[in-house]
Structure 1
Amino acid sequence: MIAVLFARPDLARSLSKAIAEDEAVAPAVVAPPLSALMEAPAVKPVSAAAEEAPLTEEEKALMGTRKQQEWVTSWLAKRYRVAGDATNMLVSTAYLTAREIKLDPLLILAVMAIESGLNPFAESPMGAQGLMQVMSKVHHDKFQEMGGVQAALNPVANIRVGSLILKDYVTRGGSVEAGLKSYVGAAAFETDDGYGSKVLAEYRRLKQVSAGKKVPTFTAPSAPVLAKTTTVQAPAVASAAPAAATELAGL
Structure 2
Amino acid sequence: MALIYSNDSVAKRVSEMLHPEPVVAVNMSAAPVATVVPAMQATAQTVAVETTHMGTSSATLGNTKQQQYVTKWLSKRYRVASDAANMLVSTAYLTAHDLKLDPLLILAVMAIESGLNPFAESAMGAKGLMQVMAKVHHDKFEKVGGQQAALNPVANIRVGALILKDYVKRTGSVEGGLKTYVGAADMDSDQGYGAKVINEYRLLNQVAKGQNVPAMKRNTPAPTSAPVVVSKQPEADSVKPEAKPVPEATTSATAPVVASDALAGL
After TM superposition, the score normalised by the length of structure 2 is 0.67
Cα distance per residue 1:44-80 (max 9 Å; x no partner): xxxx9xx989875659963421101100000000000
How is 1:1-251 mapped onto 2 (pairs within 5 angstroms)?
32-34=16-18, 35=32, 56=50, 58=52, 62-220=60-218, 228-229=244-245, 243=259, 246-251=261-266
Moved over 4 A (4+): 51-61
Distance verdict in 2 for CA 1:52–1:88, change over 3 Å = closer
Structure 2 counterpart of 1:33, one-letter code: M
Aligned-pair CA distance for 1:192: 0.3
Aligned-pair CA distance for 1:32: 3.2
* Structure whose residues are more often helix by fraction: 1
In structure 1, the partner of 2:10 is none
Q: Percent identity between the aligned chains?
A: 64
Q: Name the SS for the 2:16 alignment partner.
A: coil
Cα distance per residue 1:122-154 (max 9 Å; x no partner): 000000000000000100111111111000000
State the distance in 2 between where 1:221 and 1:182 align.
Answer: 26
Higher Cα Rg: structure 1 or 2?
Answer: 1
In structure 1, the partner of 2:27 is none
State the distance in 2 between where 1:160 and 1:54 align.
Answer: 17
Q: Can you give the 5+ residue segments of structure 1 that lack an aligned partner in the other structure? A: 1-30, 40-47, 231-239
Distance verdict in 2 for CA 1:210–1:190, change over 3 Å = same
Aligned 8 A contact 2:121 2:128 in 1: yes
Say what the alpha-carbon RMSD is for the aligned residues.
2.9
State the distance in 2 between where 1:221 and 1:154 align.
Answer: 32
Cα distance per residue 1:12-61 (max 9 Å; x no partner): xxxxxxxxxxxxxxxxxxx833359x97xxxxxxxx9xx98987565996
Number of positions where the alignment pairs a residue of Structure 1 with one of Structure 2? 196
Q: Name the SS for the 2:259 alignment partner.
A: helix
State the distance in 2 between where 1:174 and 1:195 align.
Answer: 18
